[in-house]
Amino acid sequence: MSTHPTGKRTGRPRSASADLAILEATRAALVELGWGKLTMSDVAGRAGVAKTTLYRRWANKHDLAVDAVAVLFDELQLPDLGSLRADVEGVVLQFAALLERPEAKTALMAVVAEATNDAALRLRIRSSIVDRQKRLVVEGRRRAQRRGEIPPDPPGTDPAPQIDLIFDVIAGAVVHRTLVSGEPVDATWVAGFTALLLTGLASA
């Protein structure tokens, strides 16, 4: 096998359009077939690519399904609406709308259910979805600190534990509301949730 002087393998560059087609096909298969019947062969056929192409990108259906979900969550953006309260309400409504999409709902529930007995899959979900989406909390805190809405981090302190907690509270509440309780995440609920998040239980 020929290589570049750097030791990297030669070959055609990876196609972004093929990746998107594969991930879309994976979500469609999950909606139609469910986790148990999802196969790499079926995804390859739906995406119009060779199975070898699929395996060059993803080692197994666990990794493939998580990435199919992760790319949807990468669509989330934190709006700059002028205040922390409005920003939180905006991103929560975006998140809830995403979870209402059949391909997002089915794919997320499938990988989470499968991960209950698979530690490697849980790690994949954490790195590909959870850790990547914590960027929204990081951005929101920094913006609120610049506005003077929340105090800056004291010198020498690590904000990571607070970032983790904020993410868990928001994501956990919205996922439970939409996927477990099956209740709407409308403007009224979001306003109440945001007030509770920002002011605390005693104030609320």
Residue with tokens 């019947």: 37
Q: Which residues contact 115 (CB under 8 A, 6 or more apart)?
A: 121, 122, 125
Q: Report the distance separating Cα 14 and Cα 11, nearest Å.
A: 9
Residue with tokens 């991930």: 23
118's tokens: 């698979």
Adjacent-strand bridge partners of 3 = 9
Q: How buried is 107 (Cβ within 10 angstroms: 0-12 exposed, 13-18 middle, 19+ buried)?
A: buried
DSSP per residue, 66-79? HHHHHHHHTT----
Compute how many other C-beta atoms are within 10 angstroms of the C-beta atom of residue 93. 17
Q: Report the distance separating Cα 153 and Cα 31, nearest Å.
A: 44
pLDDT of residue 103: 86
pLDDT of residue 202: 72
Q: Domain 16-66 is of which CATH architecture?
A: Orthogonal Bundle (1.10)
> Using an 8 Å Cβ cutoff, are 101 and 76 in contact?
no
Q: Which residues contact 96 (CB under 8 A, 6 or more apart)?
A: 174, 177, 178, 185, 190
185's tokens: 């995440």
201 phi, psi to nearest 5 deg:
-65, -45
Q: What is the pLDDT of residues 15-28, one digit of tens each?
A: 788 899 999 999 99
Which part of the chain is CATH 1.10.10.60? 16-66
Q: Does domain 70-199 have CATH number 1.10.357.10?
A: yes
Q: Per the confidence metrics, is the pTM higher than 0.75?
A: yes
> Using an 8 Å Cβ cutoff, are 198 and 88 in contact?
yes
Provide long-range contacts, Cβ within 8 A and 24+ apart, for 168-174. Answer: 169/197, 170/88, 170/92, 170/95, 170/137, 170/197, 171/95, 171/130, 171/133, 174/92, 174/95, 174/96, 174/99
Binned average pLDDT, 10 residues per bin, the chain of 204 residues: 41 73 94 90 94 92 93 93 96 96 88 90 94 96 96 95 96 95 96 94 67
Q: What is the pLDDT of residues 78-95, one digit of tens each?
A: 989 999 999 999 999 999
